[in-house]
Amino acid sequence: MSGLSYWERTYGDHFFDILIVGAGIVGLNAALSCRERYPEARIGVLDKGMLSVGASTKNAGFACFGSPSELLDDLKNHTEAEVTALIAKRYQGIQALRAKLRDEQIDFQLNGSYEVFQSNQKSEFKAYASQLDYLNRLLYSVFEQDVFELKPLHFGMQSVLGEGIFHRLEGQLNPVKMMLGLKQLAQAQKIEIVSNYEVQAFELQGEQVEVKGPKMLNCSQLLIATNGFSSSLLAERSVDILPARAQVLVTKPIKGLSLKGTFHLDKGYYYFRNIDNRILLGGGRNCDFEAETTDRLELNSKIQNRLDELLTELFGLSEEDVEYRWAGIMGTGRQKTPIVASLNKNIHYGIRLGGMGVALGTELGVDLAQCVNL
Ligand SMILES: Cc1cc2nc3c(=O)[nH]c(=O)nc-3n(C[C@H](O)[C@H](O)[C@H](O)COP(=O)(O)OP(=O)(O)OC[C@H]3O[C@@H](n4cnc5c(N)ncnc54)[C@H](O)[C@@H]3O)c2cc1C
């Protein structure tokens, strides 16, 4: 028992109609969607960090839907219908995000993307290139045009094949500007964002959910949007979710940088792009899967060293040219599809966005809000 009176529980300032745990792209979109459905409800978003300590502000800002090698890999474990549905969700998600926030506000640029292959990957390149007609046909219902084509690479890269696989509809954005934009929208909609509130546990008590953290809160409906940090909160519920840490570096400014767009390498395990006049390079989880199955925000020296090597192989740059390094936490599982589900009629969760949550997050937030029943 909380010791609170009926009045306190029902009308006190610790009572919310809807509480959302996690102020990432999913949590804030869920909050905005709840506001549309329930204009008068008291809605709060709790986060253990300041804006988001999650992946939403630490990602690479690719507005991407899946490179050919990733898609063909996915088709080994998922049906064509599942893969097409997931790509459609990613594509619609980016359109929904751009409808919510202006392109200039989030630095959205439709520069296209390339899947690139290193000089020793000629046979892989040929194999994937021969499947482009098939992929274009498979995804025509999503994009309403052929999106993949072979294109020469002109970006001063070393040790890569001269041609890559271009995706004309992939873009790039600034994730922090995206999150600040969503936060502003939420605040304008009288959604209360509570920072530095780490939820320790929650429990259904009659018709309300008791949320345990720095101070006790109650709500009618609880939405959990903690993605890669969900294992402990949902530990006893046997949900298929695991943390997946990812490592990134950003170089110092590079004079005359010609790199423009987003680039995928090695089935999406590595990725790079231009940010201002710098290069962002990330990935390498496949070098140390076990150590990276964690939600501890720490650098992994083995992977950072591999990123340094790749920076040298691709651009002739060295460790001294790197100015920033960080890690972020994604949520993965046996399946690549995200999960929206309910524990009971008061508690719901929307998690497991994998490596393309910028694309999936907006729609997943909307789907999560649909679970609410006030
Ligand atoms: C390095 C990196 C690069 C990536 N690059 C891309 C990319 O280029 N394109 C792309 O589409 N996707 C990318 N992703 C994936 C994408 O960023 C995520 O899928 C997406 O941001 C997940 O959003 P979310 O809202 O579900 O979770 P998050 O953004 O992780 O938000 C979850 C929030 O929950 C909070 N939280 C957790 N536990 C608690 C608790 N107990 N109490 C209170 N608050 C809690 C956390 O503080 C966090 O703010 C990348 C991810 C990483 C890590």
CB 374 within 8 A of CB 220: yes
- The whole-number pLDDT of residue 236 equals 72
Residue nearest to ligand 1 atom 51, measured at CA: 59
Query: Ligand 1 centre and the CA of 2: distance in Å?
Result: 32
* d(C-alpha 56, C-alpha 60), whole Å: 9
Structure tokens at 319: 């460790």
Nearest Cα residue to 271 out of 61, 131, 90, 68 = 61
pLDDT digits (tens, 9 = 90+) for 112-127: 999 999 999 999 999 9
Percent of the chain whose pLDDT exceeds 90 = 88
pLDDT in tens, 209-262: 999 999 899 999 999 999 999 988 987 778 889 999 999 999 999 999 999 999
Number of H helices, E strands in the chain: 11, 18
Q: Are 59 and 50 in contact (CB under 8 A)?
A: no
87 lies in some domain: no
Mean pLDDT of 316-328: 97
Tell the residue nearest (CA) to atom 47 of ligand 1.
53
Same domain, 256 and 308: yes
Residues 265 and 117 grouped into a single domain: yes
Asked if the structure places residue 90 within a domain, the reply is no
**What distance, in Å, lies between the first and last C-alpha atoms of the chain?**
23
pLDDT digits (tens, 9 = 90+) for 147-183: 999 999 988 899 999 999 999 999 999 999 999 999 9
Residue 188 burial (CB count, 10 A): 10
**Same domain for 258 and 298:** yes
In a domain, 269, yes or no: yes
User: For residue range 255-301, what is the model confidence (pLDDT) as tens digits?
Assistant: 999 999 999 999 889 999 999 999 999 999 999 999 999 999 999 99
197 and 269 inside one domain = no
Max Cα–Cα distance, the chain, nearest Å: 71
Question: Could you tell me which residues are beta bridge partners of residue 341?
Answer: 349
Is 302 part of any domain?
Answer: yes
Nearest Cα to Cα of residue 18 among 220, 226, 218? 220
The answer on 273 and 145 residing in a single domain is yes
Please report the ipTM that was assigned to this predicted complex. 0.99
In a domain, 341, yes or no: yes
Burial class of residue 122 (count of CB atoms within 10 Å of its CB; 0-12, 13-18, 19+) = exposed
How far apart are the CA of 52 and the centre of ligand 1, in A? 8
* Cα three-residue angle 258-259-260, rounded to 5 degrees: 110
Same domain, 116 and 185: no
294 shares a domain with 214: no
What would the pLDDT profile of 13-59 be if each residue is shown by its tens digit?
889 999 999 999 999 999 999 999 999 999 999 999 976 689 999 99
- Do residues 158 and 253 both lie within one domain? yes
Same domain, 261 and 304: yes
User: What is the domain-level CATH number for residue 31?
Assistant: 3.50.50.60
Q: Are residues 182 and 222 in the same domain?
A: yes
Round to whole Å and give the CA distance between 98 and 88: 15
| Alpha-carbon span 316 to 9, nearest angstrom | 62
Q: Tell me which residue has its CA closest to atom 35 in ligand 1.
A: 22
Confirm if 363 and 318 have CB atoms less than 8 A apart: no
71 Cβ contact partners less than 8 Å away, ≥ 6 residues apart: 83, 87, 135
What are the start-end ranges of the H helices in 13-139? 25-37, 68-77, 80-100, 122-129, 132-138
Q: What is the pLDDT of residue 65?
A: 96
Strand partners, 203: 210
31: tokens are 């909050």
How many structural domains is the chain composed of? Answer: 2
Q: Is residue 355 part of a domain?
A: yes
Q: Are 278 and 191 members of one domain?
A: no
> Residue 6: its pLDDT value, please?
78
Å from CA of 56 to ligand 1 middle: 4
Residues 6+ apart with CB under 8 A from 288: 300, 302, 303
Is the residue at 161 inside a domain? yes
- CB within 6 Å of ligand 1 — which residues? 21-27, 46-49, 52-56, 58-62, 64, 198-199, 225-229, 233, 246, 248, 282, 328-330, 353, 355-359, 361
Give a yes or no: residue 32 inside a domain.
yes
Angle between helix 25-37 and helix 175-188 axes, rounded to 10 deg: 30
Angle between helices 357-369 and 80-100 (to 10 degrees): 80
What pLDDT is attached to residue 371? Answer: 98
227 and 298 within one domain:
no
CATH number of the domain residue 260 falls in: 3.30.9.10
* Alpha carbon nearest to ligand 1 atom 22, residue: 357
Which range marks the domain in which residue 192 is found? 6-58+176-240+335-369
Phi, psi of 143 (to 5 degrees): -95, -15
CA distance 239 to 234: 7
pLDDT for the residue 288 = 94
